[in-house]
Amino acid sequence: MSEFLSDSNFSLSTKLPTGNMQWRIKPIQKIATEYGLELSTRAMNVLASYGIRTVEDLAQVDMREVALQVGAGTKTLSEIRSAREKLHNQGIGASESQEGKLPPLSRRAREVLFQLGLEETNDLSSLTMDEIMAIPGTGPKTVLEVLTLKYSRPFEIQVLDWSKTEKLYIFELILRSLSSRACSMLDKLGIRDFESFVAMNPLHVLTSDSSGKKTFDEVSELQMRIRSLFSANPRASADLVLGQVWVIPERIDASSPNPD
């Protein structure tokens, strides 16, 4: 037995038929050949791991999910995206509307979004600066370009039917939730009420001379939590905001004193 297991009698190449391990990418190879798609073996393996079996699957593939697959680097994601677009141009799984599609960006910014699997402006809503900076080779210029795109569309809330007391109370809680540096920055930017805080472009904080990433993070994180409530419920009440953002159960009424 020991002689049979010796190096001279055994090797992976002779005992394991590696050619048979390519069975899972054969459906994708067939699709690539039939529709003239340029996909590397790595790209086909990524697609196979994701579960792509038909041309319809490939035409409708979610790039955000593909980006999470092992081996899905920038070049691979670019190949898959190009293949999908080529199928769309052939009328397979094509999207009728271009609304929400990403505008022209620098090569580096597109690479960052490719790696994050983001391809529509709506996909950027929950994107954070830390996620952008986590992509190797991403510099301040690219971070600012991506964030500028994220905040390019103004956020609007319906006219609030809140009482003056409710608005003052919630804004006071906002200020209490932020550092003194952040509060000072908001004051310099003229942000002195609840509506203006929600509507503010947080990039104004980031690009200010006297603030940095930490101040931007705390302001934008709190603003995003409040915005998410209005995105789900445009007529959100003050009590809902109070309970969801600060987890304070009591109601606010006209008799409520201003916070000390």
Nearest-angstrom CA–CA distance, 57 and 60 = 5
| Positive or negative: CA dihedral 34, 35, 40, 44 | negative
Q: What are phi and psi of 120, to 5 degrees?
A: -135, 155
Would you tell me the crossing angle of helices 213-232 and 180-188 to the nearest 10 degrees? 70
Q: Which of 42-51, 55-64, 236-245, 248-257 has the lowest mean pLDDT?
A: 248-257
Res. 159 pLDDT band, cuts 50 70 90? low
Q: How many CB atoms lie within 10 A of CB 139?
A: 10
Task: Determine what percent of the chain is predicted with pLDDT higher than 90.
Answer: 22
| pLDDT tens digits, one per residue of 86-128 | 888 888 876 544 445 677 788 788 888 878 878 777 778 788 8
pLDDT at 253: 53
Better pLDDT: 253 or 83? 83
Among residues 85, 91, 94, the alpha carbon closest in space to that of 114 is found at 85
Res. 250 pLDDT band, cuts 50 70 90? low
pLDDT at 14: 38
pLDDT at 249: 52
Degrees, nearest 5: CA angle 252-257-260: 115
Distance of CA 93 to the CA centre of its chain: 23
Contacts of 122 (CB under 8 A, 6+ apart): 100
- List the domain boundaries for the chain: 12-89, 107-150, 164-245
Burial of 55 (0-12, 13-18, 19+ CB in 10 A): buried
Is 90 exceeded by the pLDDT of residue 177?
yes
Q: What are phi and psi of 101, to 5 degrees?
A: -70, 150
Is 80 exceeded by the pLDDT of residue 257?
no
Q: How big is the chain, counted in residues?
A: 260
Is 80 exceeded by the pLDDT of residue 4?
no
pLDDT at 187: 92
| pLDDT tens digits, one per residue of 22-50 | 677 888 999 999 999 999 999 898 898 88
Is 90 exceeded by the pLDDT of residue 255?
no
Res. 61 pLDDT band, cuts 50 70 90? confident
Is 70 exceeded by the pLDDT of residue 193?
yes
DSSP bridge pairs for 101: 120
Cβ 97 vs Cβ 59: under 8 Å: no
pLDDT at 70: 80
What pTM, to 2 d.p., does this model score?
0.59
pLDDT at 15: 39
Res. 63 pLDDT band, cuts 50 70 90? confident
| Positive or negative: CA dihedral 212, 213, 214, 219 | positive
Is 50 exceeded by the pLDDT of residue 17?
no
Is 90 exceeded by the pLDDT of residue 209?
no
